[in-house]
Amino acid sequence: MDIIDKVREIYIKREECLAPYACKSSDAIRKAVETKPEFRIVFSKDVDKILHSFAYTRYLDKTQVFSLINDDRVSTRMIHVQLVAKIARTIGRALSLNEDLIEAISLGHDIGHTPFGHKGEAFLNKISLSVGEGYFLHNVQSVREFLVLENNGVGLNISLQTLDGILCHNGEFINEKYEPLYNKTWEQFLKEYNNCYINDNESKKIRAMTLEGCVVRISDVIAYIGRDIEDAIDLGLLKRTELPDSIKDILGDKNNTIVDKLVLDVIKNSFGKNYLSLSDSAYNALISLKDFNYKNIYNRALNNNQLEILEKQFNDLFKLYLNDLNTKANKTDISELFLKNMADEYINNASNARKVIDYIAGMTDRFFVYQYKKYFKI
């Protein structure tokens, strides 16, 4: 046995200490078998594949909540996914779950977010529906990025468990109990993935196949709910005194306290169980805090004039690129910067509308603005 095999054996042996309901490397499923000698075990390799992807680099200039501002203190997607990864690993370690799988899901979960956050997602969703390409959802696009788009349209051969956790991560839908749908197959996963394009309720009801996926889902909301409050306060959009006492009495009024209270609550109520849960008081306070944030932060992050301008820009760029592909005029950057090195399978199987959606979805805020100024001379 050489050194590489010995190191791999040590890694695998460490997993014997994980909880009975943790997902082991031996449970991992890939679409294609990878035969190259490797000391990294499956989920650790998923982490590296995600970190080294081009899509991961673009997190750096994608909006979390607040767009069109010049303030380096405000969270971006890059900061958010790192916070999710840290919070999720803290919970996972306490529950003796697989931290490699947790990290892979955490770092990859928002890859499919558009420029300008959830508002950009809503604009692209309208466009996608109008051209017959189905619903556009960032969690679905995240899976598409790793399954189809990365590696020049071939995909990265990420494990089923990681992709499933990414698909099912949506922290917008908060539950009191998160129970995995164990033993999910590739066929079941792909059915859920494809159904998300045609059924707007599918994404709300799907369940992760691993406890690790459930941990990332609850960690997503824990990571953003208090941090968004701090950003809003720094920008003068909110005063800390405005938080209702009913929420502050349970979770506190600062991000560090909110994170600490929720993490400890999840651990206390989930330890030794094959599901995750929150106490009634923490769950109700979290629901109330989310409603408060929507009313006082998310619905005020951009004014109506900004939203109208952005929606027009999304529509203008989409029509411009689509016309360029349909007429084969080659007057825009989409062919050179996006399609030039893509595999024949992608070029032949994706409609022109889908190619444009994929291109816009992958843009950073800065590149989106650059492209619009380039072609519409504003």
C-alpha 53/C-alpha 44 separation (Å) is 15
Q: Does residue 14 or residue 286 have the better pLDDT?
A: 286
Query: What is 95-115 written as a DSSP string?
Result: TT--HHHHHHHHHHTTTTPPT
Q: What's the whole-number mean pLDDT along residues 42-60?
A: 93
Span 97-131, pLDDT tens digits: 999 999 999 999 999 999 999 999 999 999 999 99
Give the three-class secondary structure for 175.
coil
- CB-CB contact of 41 with 9 (8 Å): no
- Check residue 37 and give its pLDDT: 60
pTM of the complete model beyond 0.85: yes
Q: Does residue 5 or residue 96 have the better pLDDT?
A: 96
- Check residue 170 and give its pLDDT: 79
- Check residue 300 and give its pLDDT: 85
Span 330-374, pLDDT tens digits: 999 999 999 999 999 999 999 999 999 999 999 999 999 999 999
User: What kind and span of H or E run contains 177?
Assistant: strand 177-178
Q: Supply the DSSP symbol for 242.
A: G
Q: For the chain, what are the domain ranges?
A: 3-24+40-300, 304-376
C-alpha 20/C-alpha 252 separation (Å) is 34
- Check residue 51 and give its pLDDT: 96
- Average pLDDT over all residues of the chain: 92
Give the residue carrying structure tokens 């890859």.
111
Share of the chain above pLDDT 70, in %: 97
- Check residue 2 and give its pLDDT: 78
- Check residue 35 and give its pLDDT: 63
- CB-CB contact of 216 with 210 (8 Å): no
User: What kind and span of H or E run contains 233?
Assistant: helix 211-234
Q: Average the pLDDT over each of 71-75, 132-136, 347-351 and give the range with the smallest value.
A: 71-75
User: Which residues partner with 177 through β-bridges?
Assistant: 277
With cut-offs at 50, 70 and 90, classify the pLDDT of residue 5: confident
- CB-CB contact of 367 with 62 (8 Å): no
- Check residue 65 and give its pLDDT: 78
Q: Which fold has domain 3-24+40-300?
A: Hypothetical protein af1432 (1.10.3210)
Q: Does residue 44 or residue 14 have the better pLDDT?
A: 44
Q: What's the whole-number mean pLDDT along residues 152-163?
A: 96
User: What kind and span of H or E run contains 276?
Assistant: strand 276-277
Span 249-284, pLDDT tens digits: 999 999 999 999 999 999 999 999 999 999 999 999
**Does pLDDT of 44 surpass 70?**
yes
- Check residue 201 and give its pLDDT: 87
Q: What angle do CA 137, 176, 46 make, to 5 degrees?
A: 50
Span 210-250, pLDDT tens digits: 999 999 999 999 999 999 999 999 999 899 999 999 999 99
Q: Supply the DSSP symbol for 178.
A: E
- Check residue 332 and give its pLDDT: 95
C-alpha 9/C-alpha 143 separation (Å) is 30
